[in-house]
A = this chain, B = another copy of it.
Amino acid sequence: MLSHMGDWRRSHNCVQLTAKNIGEEVCLMGWVQRRRDHGGVIFVDLRDREGLTQVVMSPEYNKDVHAVADSIRNEFVIAVKGKVGMRPEGTINTKLPTGEIEVMVDELKILNASQTPPFMIDDFTNANEDIRLKYRYLDLRRRKIQNNLITRHNIVRTMREYLYARDFLDIETPFLTKSTPEGARDYLVPSRVNPGKCYALPQSPQMFKQLLMVGGYDKYFQIVKCFRDEDLRADRQPEFTQLDMEMSFIDREDLMELLEGMFIEIFQNIKGIKLERGFPRMSYDNAMEKYGHDAPDTRFDMFLKTINELVADCGFKVFREVVADGGVVKAINAKGAGEKYSRKNIDELTELAVSLGAGGLAYIKVNEDSLQSPIVKFLGDSADTIVKAMDGKPGDIIFFGAGKKDIVNLYMSKVRLKLGKELGLIKEGDYSFVWVLDFPLLDYDAEEKRYVAMHHPFTAPLDEDIPLFDTDPGQMRAKAYDLVLNGSEIGGGSIRIHRSDVQEKMFNALGFTPEEREYKFGFFIDALKYGTPPHGGIAFGVDRIATILTGSDSIRDVIAFPKTQKATDMMSEAPSKIDEKQLKELYMKFEVVEND
């Protein structure tokens, strides 16, 4: 539907007119992207959400219109009525859908003027991000950001329509909820009506969606904001959007089938790519062994390999001692890196590893008739064995990580990604999904000296592992599944605990005292006692999916009004100081040493 204002009725948007419309009387409205004056004739690229159309104001065609047009500047908002004509030969722009035509203007209305913007509104702007965030409403006019938000809209629309068609109910859960600190920090909201008490903004609607299953709603979804007060990293926002789902009377296979179908539709609609059913699956152990990470980037095949057996008795003391101390030695063969990689490249790779906790980054360069490496002399015969085991051929470089398992995995997974990028193994437009399965149920937190839930405390253990609650909780496996795309975890879910006795065991394993358990989760354990169906679900990160599908560098490019890494809104300057009166109504006070 196009719109009008009084007798000015917009007939087309700025991408619709082509040679087919020649001779038609049209009415367009939009922004002046660019205004040029050629021999007294004024040409304007008129811009709207959809595209650009050239409109022409010539003194010979219409003197009055030309006189008004003279005052037009970039970013003015104008409305024009005129006739569609062919552009003169030699001025056709084949890059634009409307590039064959132009509109000769009969009537012109300046709907609003514009000051000169603080930066050029185009995709090649070199304005820094701070300025662009301060004037976000102008940055939002850039074609790239507009296309990003349109794509995001289409992703979300596809998700909804897919779930609508499959009898999922869109049900809203509360934003003012109870604080149950576990995992990330809550954002708190003081209550005026209940002095001294606070709500918490939800980190996820986890308990509510499970209670909807207890309530018999069978299939639930919601696309919903969630909140985590974390120390922000580049790809995090204090508020983020989740596609949240839950189903009853299902097992893992049902959910995986359903969700593959959803992503097949998303990729068809958004990218025009036909994905095949049966996304690859990988166990958590396998992912950690081969990729060093539980969100493996499977766009390229270059694998880590534990070589403890080959180096347990070798001549290189570092490796030998790591194995003896219960650590790991892992190697990766950077195929063909020998030619591409200079000393400098290897140094950069080493720096990366060291910054993530490595002592160094040993390597062996395989030459035609020698092994080139600072450690070969120590390794002796083992060097050949290792090279053979790693399928080392002339031109390859084999890199080694040695130390505590989780630290080695951390840096070697990053080393692998850097190698993949630098060796050109990751192609733009490649998309690789993988399901990661069979996660451990619990993770031991050495600092807090207790187990923490690997996913969350409602994740069901494998049925056969339930007895291990009493003997060896660390060995339990979870009915959990993550969906990974291009090395990003885009979704994570599980079959849930639906028996109250198992849920109590789980809370016990997490080290909650009975009081804590009762206070935080008492009502939830109660709920499980009144006929809870078997159920499971998943949550997807919508921001992250949109970032990947738009090929954006930052999550901020797919959010209309993002926050900085200091969790501030540069435009409105939120958060802000609050009137004493407002704080007093909430019975609260800040105790801050003020710096600014």
Q: A residues bordering B, Cβ < 8 Å? A: 1, 3-6, 10, 29-32, 47-49, 75-77, 79, 111-115, 117, 134-141, 146, 149-150, 153, 156-157, 160, 164, 166-167, 169-179, 181, 185-201, 207-208, 211-212, 214-218, 225, 227, 229, 232, 238-239, 241, 247-251, 254, 258, 498-499, 523, 527, 529-534, 559-561, 563, 566-569, 571-579, 582-583, 585-592, 594
Contacts and interface: CB of A to CB of B under 8 A. Distances in A.
A211 B590 contact: no
Contacts of A79: 249
16 contacts: A4-B251, A49-B217, A49-B218, A111-B249, A115-B529, A136-B211, A137-B211, A140-B216, A173-B561, A175-B239, A181-B582, A193-B566, A195-B592, A197-B577, A212-B560, A589-B591
Given A114-B529, A218-B49, A247 B208 contact: no
B587 A112 contact: no
A46 B114 CA distance: 66
Given A149-B217, A189-B189, A531-B113, A567 B194 contact: yes
Across the A-B interface, the 8 shortest Cβ-Cβ residue pairs: A140-B215, A114-B531, A178-B574, A196-B592, A197-B575, A75-B531, A3-B250, A191-B575
Q: Is the interface of A mostly helix, strand, loop or mixed?
A: loop
Contact of A569 (B160, B167, B178, B216): B178
Contacts of A568: 194
Contact of A527 (B137, B251, B585): B137
Contact of A572 (B76, B141, B178, B589): B178
For A32, A111, A573, the residue with the greatest tally of chain B CB atoms inside 10 Å of its CB is A111
A85 B67 CA distance: 85
A153 B567 CA distance: 33
A577 to B, nearest CB: 6
Nearest to A205: B561
A523 B572 contact: yes
Contacts of A167: 1
A335 B174 CA distance: 46
Nearest to A521: B572
Within the oligomer, what is the number of copies of this chain?
A: 2
B585 A588 contact: no
A530 B582 contact: no
A408 to B, nearest CB: 33
A158 to B, nearest CB: 11
Contacts of A10: 249
A15 to B, nearest CB: 12
B578 A171 contact: no
B174 A239 contact: yes
A463 to B, nearest CB: 11
Given A199-B574, A572-B177, A192 B229 contact: yes
Contact of A587 (B567, B579, B592): B592
Contacts of A239: 174-176
Contacts of A170: 153, 156-157
A80 to B, nearest CB: 12
Contacts of A197: 575-578
Contacts of A248: 3, 29
A530 B114 contact: yes
A571 B523 contact: yes
A77 B533 contact: yes
